[in-house]
Amino acid sequence: MQGGVCGGLRKVAMEIPFVVREIRLDEPMLAQQAWQIQLQAHQVEAEWLGYPQLPVMWNTLQEAMACKDRVIAVFEGEALRGLLVLSRRQQGGWHIERTVVDPAHFRVGWGYRLLNHLLAVVDEVSVDTVEVNVAAIALYHKAGFVLEQRWTVPDADGLVLWRMMYRAGRLQASLHLDDKGWIREARQIPSPNCDARETGPAELVVIHNISLPPYRYGSPAVEQLFTNRLEPQGDPFFAQIHQLKVSAHFFIRRSGQLLQFVPVQQRAWHAGVSSWQGRERCNDFSIGIEMEGCDFEPFADAQYQMLIGLLRELQVHLPLRGMTGHEHIAPGRKTDPGPFFDWGRVRAEIDLPA
C-alpha cells in the first residue's frame, strides 16, 4: 500500500482552528476578558503552589486597560483562551511577564501556541518560573528554553525560582548516514510500512507536516501511527485513521529531535497519489520528511536547524535533484507543509529546486 499522510490526514478547506495575534487592551470588552482570565488562572496557580502571596498581574480592569507591555493572545473562534505578556529587557530581547491560560482550557496546547508565535519572530527571551511548577518548566523546555539561574525569593517561605532562557540558533545538527540507510543520531523506530524501491535511489525530498491529535504536539501518536500501534480510543480522530498503513522516512519534533522510521534506500508510504515534473507515484523516488506542526502556525527554529542538517547529510549520499511540499505534488488534495513553512530559509541553505 502506498498511502499519504500529514496535513494530510485532513482535507483541504479546513476551518481555522485558532488564531494567535498581538492585541491592545484599551478596548473594554477584550480587556475585560483578559483581566478575568488572568484572575482565574492566578487563583488556580496560587492554590496549586500553596503561595497565596503570588502577585496578581492586574488587580483591576483599569490596570489591565492601562497595560503598556506587549500582549499576544490566542483565540478559538471569538473566545479568548490565553495571553502572553512581555516586556523589553534592558540587555536586549524580551522577558515573559506572565503566560496566562483560561483554567477551563488547560492542557490542550494554548500556552505552547502563544510561545510558538513569539519564538517565530524573536531571537532571545527570558522567563522566571517557580521551581515546583513542573508543568510550566516542561512547557518552556518543549519550546526550547533552558534553565539558566536559580534563586530563592526572600521572605517567601523558601519559594525557589528559575530563570529560563531561549536563544535561537543553539542547535547544531551534525548527522551521519550509515551504509544501511539510517541516521546514527536519530531515534530509530523501524516501521513495517515500507518496501523496496524499484527505480533507483531517491531524487526528491518531500516536506510534510503532521500533528496527532490534530494541532497537538508532543504525544507518541505519530510514531504509533507509523508503526501500526495507534489506539482508536485514544482520541476521536484516531478512530478514523488507526487502520491506515502509512509512514515517512523522518519525523522532526518541535524540539528538533529527529526520529527515523524507514531507511533511505527503501520506499516509505507518505506521498500517496502524486506527481512531480511529470513523474507519477512520488513514493518511488522520494524521501518523506514530516515536520511536527500544522497549517496554521509557524514551525520552531530547532526544527529548521535539524531539517537543514539532515538535508545536508542526505545530499552527500543521495542524487537529490529537488525539494518540494506535499501540497505541490498533490495539489487540491493536500495542503502541507502549509503557508507557515519558511521555504526561503531552507532554500538559502540547501540548493535544491522545487
Q: What are phi and psi of 206, to 5 degrees?
A: -115, 125
CA–CA gap between residue 48 and residue 132 (Å, rounded): 10
Please name the residue that has the C-alpha cell 516542561: 138
Say how many C-beta atoms besides its own lie within 10 A of residue 181's C-beta: 16
For helices 110-119 and 134-143, angle between their N-to-C axes, nearest 10 degrees: 40
- Which of 282, 261, 281 has the alpha carbon at shortest distance from 324? 282
Q: What angle do CA 266, 268, 271 make, to 5 degrees?
A: 135
Scanning the chain, the segments in alpha helix (DSSP H) are 28-49, 61-65, 110-119, 134-143, 221-226, 238-241, 301-317, 326-329, 343-349
* Active-site position among 78, 198, 290, 327: 290
- Which of 85, 70, 3 has the alpha carbon at shortest distance from 37? 85
Question: Edge-to-edge strand order for the sheet containing 19-23?
Answer: 19-23, 70-76, 79-88, 94-101, 124-130, 160-167, 146-152
Q: What are phi and psi of 279, to 5 degrees?
A: -95, 130
Distance between alpha carbon 62 and the CA centroid of its chain, in Å? 35
290 is catalytic: yes
How is 46-89 classified by DSSP, letter by letter? HHHHT-TTPPPS-SSHHHHHT--SEEEEEEETTEEEEEEEEEE-
Could you give the maximum distance between any two Cα atoms of the chain, in Å?
A: 71
Residues carrying an active site annotation: 290
